[in-house]
Structure 1
Amino acid sequence: MSLTRSIMHATRVLKCLGIDDLFELVIYCDYGLPDFTCKPEEQSFDRAMRLAQVTDPDQCYFVDDSADNVHMAKSLGWHTVHLCPSGASDAGDHQIQDILTLPRIYPDLWAPSSSPSP
């Protein structure tokens, strides 16, 4: 996958989920680099923190459909959610079958919705 296709895919997924406006930075694996690292390698998580200018893993939230990736993020002290449509998982802090469940798990990450006045 080329660099352009990689970032385009990430951007398209975020847009489809309707959350593209919630991200300041998208970190992705650059397959064009000779010694690239990718999940679940610890170095890829270290790189993500460095690029995001975050030093405290408690400030990191990770949602993924791969149990291996979730296990690594959790071992590094990140908040983790395993997106597992079958529901059969013990990976991470939380297991969800639908991405729309996230606001219930981490309500503090979502601004309260405003209800229209009657």
Structure 2
Amino acid sequence: MKDSRSLAKEIAIAASEKKGRNIVLLNLQEVSLIADYFVIVSAGSSTQVKAIADSILKKLREEDIVPRSREGYQEAQWILLDYGGVVTHIFQEEQRQFYDLERLWGDAESEQFQGS
């Protein structure tokens, strides 16, 4: 099993390959028991939100890594993929601004993903 940081980076790479924007890794290890990392991604449309989620699911499934849960896929405004130590949030921009997870988890170390 991959460590949480490696998994978070792999998820970020898969998201960037589908043109995910403003990809942020939040390191929650010192501030929460919910997860070690959040990966937060923006997309321009519900179609792109689903494409990013599908890319992540496919890439990790190839390594026999499956999410514990998946939420929001039908509406595709905000899809959550829970991989245990890493929770991925794929938002349409309006929802990302509304929920503002980066502010909510402001005590977490934040890293802007710059690509592979």
TM-score where L is the length of structure 2: 0.29
Q: Does 1 or 2 have the higher relative contact order (CA < 8 Å, sep 6+)? A: 2
Rg larger in structure: 1
| Higher fraction of strand | 2
